[in-house]
Structure 1
């Protein structure tokens, strides 16, 4: 009778610290979600290149760009960060990225126009260390337990998301947006201390940047994972363009909405764990991923139909987060298993670049779709994207 492989004490210790690093950084991105749009709408727009500030939808579009600006700069820097970490070490590059992220948060604390806020968010995005953290998880875990380590990171992100939505209104009321951004900078500095405490050796002989990037870009299987993470995060970000207002229309306060998110995420984690075990222990990675993509698509259809009031929204959110959490663990794990040890950073850089483009596309595109076609048009678009991803996954099975 086979036993389920478990994380060693060292693997668990390192994965826990890396999950905390991820959580501290992601808190800085998530905590602004329920309060960012109202705050941005309270500021003067300022000078926005290529935007007619006198148009009817100028404010909504400018705020959408400001919310998603960090995703755009991340998209340009994930690959350089990943390659640099392959050559100069994960810890050094993560520290540099977190310092830049903290500087962006400090700038945002003093921004007085939407344009200035967008620039500050763009600087935050320049601290694009997610790809390096993912590569470090791959460096420090065995292949047979890597999905579980990635799940630890994914669960930390999901819990951070839920908790940040709960505390965001409280923080905003007590210390204002200025104080929220100062707190974000302080947590980034705390994450640097965690990184310094992680024992890590360079896991492979570095190869030239051009060689590693060429190898990664030529891998068709990696590109399919990249396409999937683009859709997943574009859908996620587009949802939050509409959902806060939809819940507000149901007379739910920010606090009540946050507790709804928290409850849904906790339940989804309970469902995620057996799915992860089934995928890893029983070799059902492809079928579990297909189920998860289907759940994301069904959730978008439910949100487009907008039936059932609060219960309908809660059900759609539960389906979405089950699929989202499973995919956040299985996709990076599969990417790491498909990648040569010397190109892990470059591969994670490309993967996270496409993820960041998805975040930006979801925020900016979601704001545009909502302004022109309402929530119905937005969620039909995200349902179509999810359906196309599911078709691609089913039509071209991926090697385990």
Structure 2
């Protein structure tokens, strides 16, 4: 990447990180500190934890489409401003209802699709995968940091102070966007935006739907579990809430290191389906473990280490599986539906986790999560082994666009599994097996018109 591209990718990764920090920092603390708010009940705490996901799920795809029409920057600025306003409302509230309203407003600042589209506008084709990987890493890192600094900030400044920090980060995000390089034009790119022509096929694809269900259940289980886990660390765990950060730090670090060998095995041996099933099975085991044996601090710590190993493994592998399974030119649409499912899962998990906790205590929540994981396992067991392919987008000259047999000839090449010509973009999308066909050679054949 050149300096401009690196600056754009780094800046947008930081914007993403600030925003996700604001979303996730409340996760480990709202159950313990939120009960001090007026009118707070376990059910309303759960609603506050997951409320952002509902508006995020509803608005993410529409705002991405709007950004295609009015421009990326207006949508991003407005989204960050709305996010800051929601955080400020939650910070100013002494009641759980104000926090819920603030979280709902935060979720309405749904800028993910617009940010990814802006990244495509600011980076060249050959560097886009690296730029998107930077944003993916920033999201994962922000979750880990949020779980650690959330308890520390809340202990120092209270729940209100935590939301004020979130407000400041959103405003800093606006300054970062303002200082970034400006795109010379908006590019249509089906790998990073939702393409309406690919939406129906995406919603009918059985394995993509299984992966959408997977991320929905994963985040539902995460949110529901964190309605009760922070409280369980206090009682019966006996760990004061200001010391919870070291549990999360240790569990996340061990979980991150623990998932790496499985990712390497799955990719190198082409056994990602087996890895997915194993991770879901481990998550099911964790919920049953919490349900039956989570009555001491060390049992809870052990369970959380295993939980975060499974969570990190799934959080890392599911987007990769979406990329493999999505048809050529359909990755952006598939990721849009996937992200919507993720936020919907967060909303449902918080709401039902809080309700179950109010009805029957922690055991009901863990039992409910175990049932969800068992259902998830039944859904994904019928999934096919994903194709081990790489997405590729190549520009096409006007003469090549008129070549009606180009797609058919490319599909006849060993290692090319899918081809879509996007005339409106003057480009062609391919899915290729890089162990069979060399990417550089394919680019040369297309650019020179030498496809036999």
TM-score range, shorter chain: 0.7 to 0.9
| Aligned-partner Cα distance in 1 for 2:72–2:204 | 24
Correspondence 1:286 to 2:270: no
| Aligned-partner Cα distance in 2 for 1:93–1:193 | 15
What TM-score do the two structures reach when normalised by structure 1?
A: 0.81
**Given the superposition, is the C-alpha separation of residues 106 and 302 from structure 1 closer, same or farther in structure 2, using an over 3 Å criterion?**
same
Q: Which has the larger radius of gyration?
A: 2
| Aligned-partner Cα distance in 2 for 1:326–1:231 | 14
Counterpart mapping for 1:182-197 below 5 A = 182-195=164-177, 197=180
**Given the superposition, is the C-alpha separation of residues 219 and 134 from structure 1 closer, same or farther in structure 2, using an over 3 Å criterion?**
farther
Counterpart mapping for 1:226-375 below 5 A = 226-249=212-235, 250-307=237-294, 309-339=296-326, 344-375=331-362
RMSD (Å) for aligned C-alpha atoms: 3.5
Q: Which residue of 68, 79, 101 corresponds with 2:50? A: 68
Contact preservation (8 Å) 1:108, 1:121: yes
**Given the superposition, is the C-alpha separation of residues 10 and 161 from structure 1 closer, same or farther in structure 2, using an over 3 Å criterion?**
same
Q: Which runs of 5+ in 1 are unaligned?
A: 1-6, 46-57
| Aligned-partner Cα distance in 2 for 1:109–1:179 | 7
Deviates further, 366-375 or 92-101 = 92-101
Q: Which protein is richer in strand relative to its size?
A: 2
Contact preservation (8 Å) 2:16, 2:138: yes
Alignment correspondent of 1:80: 62
Contact preservation (8 Å) 2:61, 2:194: no
| Aligned-partner Cα distance in 1 for 2:133–2:201 | 27
- Show CA shifts across 1:290-340 (max 9, x none): 222222111111111125722222222122212211221221233234446
**Given the superposition, is the C-alpha separation of residues 346 and 381 from structure 1 closer, same or farther in structure 2, using an over 3 Å criterion?**
same
| Aligned-partner Cα distance in 2 for 1:288–1:135 | 31
What TM-score do the two structures reach when normalised by structure 2?
A: 0.73
Q: Which protein is richer in helix relative to its size?
A: 1
Contact preservation (8 Å) 2:55, 2:108: yes
Between Structure 1 and Structure 2, how many residues are aligned?
381
| Aligned-partner Cα distance in 1 for 2:34–2:294 | 30
Q: Which runs of 5+ in 2 are unaligned?
A: 388-452
| Aligned-partner Cα distance in 1 for 2:7–2:384 | 34
- Show CA shifts across 1:131-157 (max 9, x none): 5556778996989996x9877656544
Contact preservation (8 Å) 1:63, 1:114: yes
| Aligned-partner Cα distance in 2 for 1:26–1:122 | 15
Contact preservation (8 Å) 1:86, 1:343: no
Counterpart mapping for 1:141-180 below 5 A = 156-180=138-162
Deviates further, 181-190 or 232-241 = 181-190
Alignment correspondent of 2:209: 223
Q: Which residue of 50, 55, 59 corresponds with 2:41? A: 59
Alignment correspondent of 2:37: 43
Deviates further, 273-282 or 388-397 = 273-282
